[in-house]
Amino acid sequence: MITATDLTLTFGKGTPLENPALRGMSLTVNQGEFVTVIGSNGAGKSTFLNALAGEVMVDSGQIIVDNQNVTKLPTYKRAGSVARVFQDPLAGTCEGLTIEENLALAIKRGQRRGLSAAVKARYLDQFKTSLTSLNLGLENRLGDKMGLLSGGQRQAVSLLMASLTPSAILLLDEHTAALDPKTASFVLDLTTQIIEEQKLTALMVTHSMKQALEVGDRTVMLHQGQVVFDIAGKDREGLEVKDLLELFEKQRGLEITDDSLLLG
């Protein structure tokens, strides 16, 4: 469970490029909930995720993950409870390391690392079983360098790495945006499958309104660093993109001009 209360964050404070990214943003995500997050460019989606992960520090407000106040903690101290998949397929894995080494890094996420061998024999079965579930034939390529894999394969492995150890929250930052449509839908299916199987609490940022309504069980829209609406349950069922747009206009008296949101 995560509770973000009244987060504010301004980039380049006191300079001509001052840019308020979060303006009093609050959101509570309950245990086992899968929330999709939408919003136009500059709405604060990525900043919000980065704030939850600790990559950026908020100016004010409070972030509580599983009853622990993590507001001031750096990324690596939050990693035990926060798992992430990035937008860039190259960002979530190390291309110079082998598949098994990448997985071995992930299996120790948020734990103390010692001087024993990183890739242990007892991990290999688990690695193979999880890789088999991807249906990409990667279970026979444990010793291959990550750089030999395609973007889609790497994103699938990133997803696996994020779910290898339990975490309080899984953050997905437009993790299918850089993939071709077919691979994107494969990775998205895999995402929903893993989240359902492991009953993960997840927050997925997406640029596509359609996707935001199709997957997950709650949708939140951000605008100018705040939550403009938040729908779940019955209200969300059967909702279509045009309903979402009407909702948005009613709430804000604004028209959405960002084409990518409509086309996605």
Partner 1 sequence: MLSNIAFYGAIETGLIYGLVAFGIYISFRVLDFPDLTVDGSFPLGAAVAAVLIIEGVNPWLATGAAVIAGMGAGAVTALLNVKLNILNLLASILTMIALYSVNLRIMGRPNIALLTEETVLTPWYDLGLAYHQVPVLLFVLVVLVSLVLLWRFMKSETGLAMRATGANPRMARAQGIATGAMIVLGVALSNGLVGLAGALFAQSQGAADVTMGVGVIVIGLASLIGGEAVLTPSTVFRALVACVIGAIVYRLAIALALNADFLGLQAQDLNLITAVLVTLAIVLPGVRTSVAARLTRKKA
Query: Which parts of this chain interact with partner 1 (CB under 8 A)?
Result: 53, 55, 74-77, 79-80, 83-84, 86, 91-97, 101, 104-106, 108-111, 113-119, 161
- Least distance to partner 1, CB of residue 84, Å: 5
Q: Closer to partner 1 at the Cβ: 13 or 77?
A: 77
DSSP 238: T
- Sign of the CA dihedral running 176, 181, 183, 189: positive
Q: Closer to partner 1 at the Cβ: 48 or 86?
A: 86
160 close to 130: Cβ distance less than 8 angstroms: yes
- Least distance to partner 1, CB of residue 203, Å: 15
- Least distance to partner 1, CB of residue 173, Å: 11
Q: What is the DSSP string of 130-196?
A: HHHTTTSSGGG-TTSBGGGS-HHHHHHHHHHHHHSS--SEEEEESTTTTS-HHHHHHHHHHHHHHHH
Q: Closer to partner 1 at the Cβ: 47 or 219?
A: 47
- Least distance to partner 1, CB of residue 2, Å: 16
The rounded distance, in Å, linking the Cα atoms of 110 and 1 is 18
Q: Closer to partner 1 at the Cβ: 38 or 172?
A: 172
